[in-house]
Amino acid sequence: MPQLERELPALDKPPSGSPPPTGPCVMVIFGGTGDLTSRKLFPALYNLVKSKLLSSDFAIVGVGRNDYTREQYQKIMGDNLDKFATSTVDPKLRDWMIQRVFYAGGEFHDPGLYARVGEILAEIDKTCNTKGNYFFYLATSPTFFGDIVDHLGAAELACEKDGHWRRVVFEKPFGNDLASAKALNRQVSKVLTEQQIFRIDHYLGKETVQNILVFRFSNGIFEPIWNRRYIDHIQITVAETVGVEKRGGYFDMAGTLRDMVPNHLFQLVSLTTMEPPISFNSTAVHDEQAKILHALQPFSEEDVLHCAVRGQYGAGVINGERVPAYKAEDGVPPDSKTETFVALRLMIDNWRWAGVPFYLRTGKRLPTRHTEVAVQFKRAPLVLFRDTPVNSLDANQLIIHIAPDEGISLRFGAKIPGAQMKVGEVEMDFNYADYFGTTANTGYEVLLYDGIMGDQTLYQRADMVEAGWTVVDPIIDVWKALAARNFPNYAAGSWGPEEATDIIARDGRSWRKISS
C-alpha cells in the first residue's frame, strides 16, 4: 500500500465555534457501488473533509457485488465525486480522500466476503491509524439488513472491545410492516446493542427540520400558544415532481405509504408536536417523540375508509414536459395497484393536541417539489368588526418551509391604508440563505457526522419505528383487502385525487395553496 498523505491540504480555518473533528474510524459502505453512495454519501463525506470535520485518520471501504480492483473502484468513485459534488471540487482534497478508499467485492450472503472485509480493516488500522473504530453503513436493499448484521456478528466485526467502537447505520425502510419491523429489531439486537444501531431518516439532516426544535423551544412567544387552545389544525405536505425514476421494481413493492409515512412524515409530526425534552440528549428527545407516536390514534377499518386516501398518477404535464403514467414506468407492472399518493387525517390523543386534526399528504408527480409544515391558528372573533366593511377574518398561519427553500413564514392581518377599515393579509418571511448564507450539502453531512460521533438524536429508536408501523398497519391491511379499482385517479402535475380534497373539506377546511 502506498504511503498516505497524513494531513489534510491547507484550507481556510473553520469558523470559530465549529464542532470538533471526528476521531479516527473506517466507514464501511455495503452497497458501495449504488446510486446512494455515489450521489449522496461520497459528496457528503467530501463536504465534511472540506469543512475539516473528519479526522485525518479516516478511511472508506466500499463493499459491493461488482468484481472491481481497488484502483478501479477509486477511479469510479473519484469520477462520481466530480459529477455529483455539491460544490466545486478541490483536486487536492479529492486526491486526499480517494487515497483512503478501499474495496471488497462479493455476495452479501457469503461468509468469505466478511473475512476479506476483516482483513482489509486490519490492514487499514495499521496504515491509517484508525484504531479499530468501524462505522458500517447499509446502503442496500432492506432484504439484506438481517443477513449482513448476522455475518458481521459471526466475523466478530460488530464486537466492541478494548476501547474501540462499532456502529451500524440502516437506511429506510426498517421493515415493511409492524411484524417485519419487530422481527428485524429482534434479529439485529442479537448482535448489536441499541446504542450501536442507527436507523437513518435523511429528512432529519435538513437544517429546517432540526430548527423545528430550536424554533419551538428557544422562543418564548410561540410555545405558549402551541396547543389546542390556539391552533385550529396542522397540515404537512411532502410533494415530489419526480416519478419512480429507476426504482420502479422496489417502489412497486413498497408504495408511498410504506416509503414515506412511518418515517419522514411521522418524524415531522413528532418534532412539531412533542413536549419539551429535559435536554437535547438523544434519549430525552427520543422519549418525547415516542410519546407522540404512541399517542397517534389508531385507525379502525372504518377510519381507513374515511380518513385515508390513496392515489396513483396517470400521464400528465409537469413544468411543460409530458410525463408518462406510473404504470408505464420502467419496472412497474401494467396492472399495478400500488399507490403513489397518500393523504391522511390523524388525531393525537393527548392533553396538548386533543381535538386538533393533522392533515398529511405526500405524493409523486405533483406540480412542485415542496415540503412544509403549515400551522393554522384559530380565527379571531369578528365581533369587534361588526359595524365595519370587514365581513371575515383570515386565520393566522405559520409555515415552516423545509424544501427546496428553507425558512419560516408568518401570515397575519394588517389594516389596508385608507379611510375605511379594511384588513389585508401580510407575510413576514425568514429565509435561511438570506440570514446565514448557503452551505453546499446533500442532507447527509450532519447525519454522518453525528453517527461517527455516536450521537443518535437524529436517528430513530426501536420503539419509535414500531410505533409508526402500528399506526400504518391497519391502513395496509384494508388497502390490501380492498384493492384500488380506479387507478390512475390523478393526472401527473395535479395535487392528487379529488378524495384528498374531500378528506379535509368534510371538516370545513381546505389544503393550503402552494405555488410552484
Answer whether 467's CB lies under 8 Å from 262's CB.
no
> Distance (Å, rounded) from C-alpha 256 to C-alpha 388?
48
Confidence of residue 248 (pLDDT cuts 50, 70, 90): confident
282-309 pLDDT, tens digit per residue, is 899 999 999 999 999 999 999 999 999 9
Answer whether 511's CB lies under 8 Å from 501's CB.
yes
Answer whether 340's CB lies under 8 Å from 313's CB.
yes
Q: Residue 208: its pLDDT value, please?
A: 64
Q: How far is CA 248 from CA 80, 107, 200, 243, in A?
A: 23, 23, 22, 9
85-115 pLDDT, tens digit per residue, is 988 899 999 999 999 999 999 999 999 999 9
Question: Which CATH number is 204-505's, of 1.10.3720.10, 3.30.497.10, 3.30.70.270, 3.30.360.10?
Answer: 3.30.360.10
Nearest to 458 by CA among 289, 292, 293: 289
Helix (H, G, I), strand (E, B) or coil at 220: coil
Confidence of residue 430 (pLDDT cuts 50, 70, 90): confident
Cα 172-174-177 angle, rounded to 5 deg: 125
Distance from the first to the final alpha carbon of the chain: 53
Answer whether 475's CB lies under 8 Å from 299's CB.
yes
Confidence of residue 414 (pLDDT cuts 50, 70, 90): confident
Whether 469 shows a pLDDT value over 80: the answer reads yes
Confidence of residue 498 (pLDDT cuts 50, 70, 90): very high
Q: Identify residue 203 by its one-letter amino acid code.
A: Y
Taken in order 358, 363, 368, 372, the sign of the CA dihedral is positive
Q: Residue 434: its pLDDT value, please?
A: 80
| 20-34, 199-213, 325-339, 392-406: segment of lowest average pLDDT | 199-213
> Distance (Å, rounded) from C-alpha 387 to C-alpha 156?
79
Q: Residue 14: its pLDDT value, please?
A: 57
For the chain, give every domain's residue range.
Answer: 25-171, 204-505
Whether 436 shows a pLDDT value over 80: the answer reads no
What percent of the chain is modeled with pLDDT above 70? 92
Across 178-190, average pLDDT: 95
Question: Which CATH number is 25-171's, of 2.160.20.10, 3.40.50.720, 3.90.1150.10, 1.10.3720.10?
Answer: 3.40.50.720
Confidence of residue 387 (pLDDT cuts 50, 70, 90): low
Q: How far is CA 160 from CA 131, 166, 173, in A?
A: 12, 6, 26
Q: Identify residue 188 by its one-letter amino acid code.
A: V
Whether 62 shows a pLDDT value over 60: the answer reads yes
Q: Residue 315: its pLDDT value, please?
A: 95
Name the pairing type of β-strands 134-138 and 308-311.
unpaired
H or E element at residue 135: strand 134-138
325-346 pLDDT, tens digit per residue, is 999 998 899 999 999 999 999 9
Whether 280 shows a pLDDT value over 90: the answer reads no
Answer whether 90's CB lies under 8 Å from 58's CB.
no
Q: Residue 411: its pLDDT value, please?
A: 83
> Distance (Å, rounded) from C-alpha 293 to C-alpha 274?
9
Nearest to 312 by CA among 248, 232, 229, 228: 248
Whether 8 shows a pLDDT value over 80: the answer reads no
Whether 16 shows a pLDDT value over 70: the answer reads no
Nearest to 235 by CA among 362, 368, 369: 362
Confidence of residue 213 (pLDDT cuts 50, 70, 90): confident
Residue 104: CB partners within 8 Å, gap ≥ 6?
A: 61, 62, 63, 113, 116, 117, 120
Helix (H, G, I), strand (E, B) or coil at 258: helix
Confidence of residue 4 (pLDDT cuts 50, 70, 90): low
Which residue in this structure is represented by grid cell 421494481? 249
Residue 381: CB partners within 8 Å, gap ≥ 6?
A: none
What does the block give as the cell for 152?
458481521
SS (H, E, C) 35-93: HHHHHHHHHHHHHHHHCCCCCCCEEEEEEECCCCCHHHHHHHHHHHHHHHCCCCCCHHH
Q: Residue 385: its pLDDT value, please?
A: 60
Q: Residue 188: its pLDDT value, please?
A: 95
**Structure-model confidence comparison of residues 437 and 445, the more confident one:** 445
Q: Residue 119: its pLDDT value, please?
A: 96
The verdict on whether 264 is a catalytic residue reads: yes
> What are the start-end ranges of the E strands in 147-295?
166-170, 197-199, 231-239
Whether 69 shows a pLDDT value over 90: the answer reads yes
Name the pairing type of β-strands 313-314 and 231-239.
unpaired
Kindly report the number of other CB atoms within 10 A of residue 241's CB atom.
18
> Distance (Å, rounded) from C-alpha 420 to C-alpha 42?
61
Across 425-451, average pLDDT: 81
What does the block give as the cell for 377?
391558528
Which residue in this structure is represented by grid cell 439486537? 189
Q: What is the pTM of this model?
A: 0.89
What percent of the chain is modeled with pLDDT above 90? 67
On average, the pLDDT of the chain sits at 89
State the Cα torsion 431-435-438-444 to the nearest 10°. Answer: -70
Catalytic residue from among 151, 202, 264, 370: 264
Q: Residue 3: its pLDDT value, please?
A: 57
